[in-house]
Amino acid sequence: RIILAFESSADETSVAIVKNGNEILSLEIATQIKSHQRFGGIVPEVASRHHIEQITLLVDAALTDAKLTYDDLTAVAVTYGPGLVGALLIGVTAAKTIAWAHGLPLVPVVHMAGHISAAQFVEPIQYPALALMVSGGHTEFVLMESEYEYVVVGDTRDDAVGESYDKVGRTMGLPYPAGKKIDEMAHQGTDEYKLPRALMNDGKLDFSFSGLKSAVINLKHNADQRDEELNLINLATSFQMAVLDILLTKTRQALKTYPVKMLIVAGGVAANQGLRDGLDQLLTEFTHTRLVKVPLQLAGDNAAMIGAAGDIAYRHGERASWDLNAKPGLDFDYLSPDLEFKVP
Ligand code: ATP
Ligand code: MG
Ligand code: FE
């Protein structure tokens, strides 16, 4: 199976060709970060315009790099949600057009399933598996009892963790997106500011990050009032220590509740070095669970992960008709059976 995959849900336009769901034959990514940076976040209209400009060029490049033609393809896979509607529509329309013109099946993919499936480029996913899905728009535990089943068993009640990195970064005067920079700074300081951690001892799997973000904003506000400077290295350190404390405490709880064969950490924030190290450490407590960290270059948005998820969806008979539309608020609902999980 050779799948041509599209991703355009936010500010990366990406096209990839993926073989059998685990081998990247080509991967093209056009990032728009520079265009959005001066606005401090993604401007939807600007994103759509860039997607339109890039997408056909990337298809040509993907085929050329893989040394393939349309005749070699088995199917076309595309992210149809969640994300920005105008941005999603570009990928969906391109995918539909190519699938229709070349008589190929069209496979609809949920963006977060894509993030999680990037694990397949490391090793085959073993079920039951649990994903810690951490990105700009999501912070959730996704339980997969078997392939092509996704049940959200823990979620954020307010901000996503990547979003809180970006908002804290903005408060600190860092360019968007700030996650990577804060991560680097956090390895150089001390925990001077002792920031709050919410919902830590409730034994449940939900998250809350808005209090932590507000605490940073208040610190900055109070410092400005008094004409004082914050130590930004220490602030980044305190912030990341709070984030990691929350994520690792909840992951320990999740693995006690669901002693799965594999834990997958996925999404843009899975690139966080502190989190990767922290999970390595945590998993020494869970000797029956294998940890798979998605590769650093495939943690953020890319079409290779959509090809990996598309391959799974394709094998399970998932097909879209020609009226497939972008679904900005899409979630896993339609792929969530009732849980049967039994603790062994
Ligand atoms: P979603 O996948 O939920 O729809 P998204 O696609 O916008 O959201 P991703 O592209 O998966 O999100 O991830 C981007 C986020 O990852 C940004 O918030 C960015 O700051 C964060 N990020 C990237 N690298 C790091 C890092 N090293 N540490 C922390 N956060 C990071
Ligand atoms: Mg992005
Ligand atoms: Fe994403």
Rounded average pLDDT over 37-54: 89
- The pTM assigned to this predicted structure is 0.97
**Residues ≥6 apart with Cβ < 8 Å to 140:** 112, 133, 152, 154, 155, 156
Does the structure show a pLDDT above 80 at 7? yes
Give the residue, by CA position, lying nearest to ligand 1 atom 4: 137
CB of 293 closer than 8 Å to CB of 251: no
| Complex confidence, ipTM | 0.98
165 pocket-lining for ligand 1 (C-beta < 6 Å)? yes
Rounded to 5°, the CA angle 149-150-156 comes to 175
**C-alpha 294 – ligand 2 centre gap (Å):** 16
135 pocket-lining for ligand 1 (C-beta < 6 Å)? yes
Sign of CA dihedral 44, 47, 52, 56: negative
Sign of CA dihedral 294, 296, 299, 304: negative
What is the distance between the alpha carbons of residues 177 and 181, in angstroms, rounded to a whole number? 8
**Residues ≥6 apart with Cβ < 8 Å to 342:** none
Tokens 């060709």 locate to: 17
80 pocket-lining for ligand 1 (C-beta < 6 Å)? no
Q: For residue 299, which atom of ligand 1 is closest to its CA? A: 11
Q: Given this model, what pLDDT does residue 323 score?
A: 97
User: Residue 34: pLDDT band by 50, 70, 90 thresholds?
Assistant: confident
Does the structure show a pLDDT above 90 at 39? no
CB of 135 closer than 8 Å to CB of 162: yes
Q: Given this model, what pLDDT does residue 33 score?
A: 85
Ligand nearest to the CA of 266: 1
Return the best residue to mutate from 51, 116, 133, 135 for the ligand 1 pocket (most ligand atoms within 8 A of CB): 135
Binding residue positions for substrate = 133-137, 166, 179, 183, 272
59 pocket-lining for ligand 1 (C-beta < 6 Å)? no
- Which amino acid does the sequence have at 138? H
Give the residue, by CA position, lying nearest to ligand 1 atom 13: 268
Give the residue, by CA position, lying nearest to ligand 1 atom 19: 179
177 prior amide bond cis, ω within 30: yes
Does the structure show a pLDDT above 90 at 343? no
Q: Given this model, what pLDDT does residue 37 score?
A: 86
Does the structure show a pLDDT above 90 at 40? no
**C-alpha 269 – ligand 3 centre gap (Å):** 10
* Burial state string for 47-86 with b = 16 or more CB within 10 A and e = fewer than 16: bbbbbbebbeebbebbbeebebeeeebbbbbbbbbbbbbb
Rounded to 5°, the CA angle 332-334-335 comes to 65
- Which amino acid does the sequence have at 52? I
What is the distance between the alpha carbons of residues 326 and 130, in angstroms, rounded to a whole number? 27
DSSP per position, 125-158? --SSEEEEEESSS-EEEEEESSTT--EEEEEBSS
Rounded average pLDDT over 82-92: 97
Write phi, then psi, for 305 (nearest 5 degrees). -65, -30
Average pLDDT, the chain: 97
Burial class (CB in 10 A: 0-12, 13-18, 19+), 288: exposed
Give the residue, by CA position, lying nearest to ligand 1 atom 5: 136
What size, in residues, is the chain? 344
What is the distance between the alpha carbons of residues 54 and 68, in angstroms, rounded to a whole number? 20
**C-alpha 340 – ligand 1 centre gap (Å):** 31
**C-alpha 163 – ligand 1 centre gap (Å):** 8
**C-alpha 135 – ligand 3 centre gap (Å):** 6
Does the structure show a pLDDT above 90 at 220? yes
CB neighbours (10 Å) of residue 34?
Answer: 8
Give the residue, by CA position, lying nearest to ligand 1 atom 7: 136
Q: Given this model, what pLDDT does residue 197 score?
A: 97
User: Residue 52: pLDDT band by 50, 70, 90 thresholds?
Assistant: very high
**C-alpha 189 – ligand 3 centre gap (Å):** 29
Instruction: Output the six-digit token pair for 53.
Output: 């400009």
Instruction: Identify which of 248, 238, 157, 162 has the alpha carbon closest to the alpha carbon of residue 200.
Output: 248
What is the distance between the alpha carbons of residues 111 and 303, in angstroms, rounded to a whole number? 10
Helix and strand numbers (H, E) in the chain are: 10, 10
pLDDT in tens, 130-184: 999 999 999 999 999 999 999 999 999 999 999 999 999 999 999 999 999 999 9
What is the distance between the alpha carbons of residues 16 and 28, in angstroms, rounded to a whole number? 6
Does the structure show a pLDDT above 80 at 344? no
Does the structure show a pLDDT above 90 at 35? no
pLDDT in tens, 257-313: 999 999 999 999 999 999 999 999 999 999 999 999 999 999 999 999 999 999 999
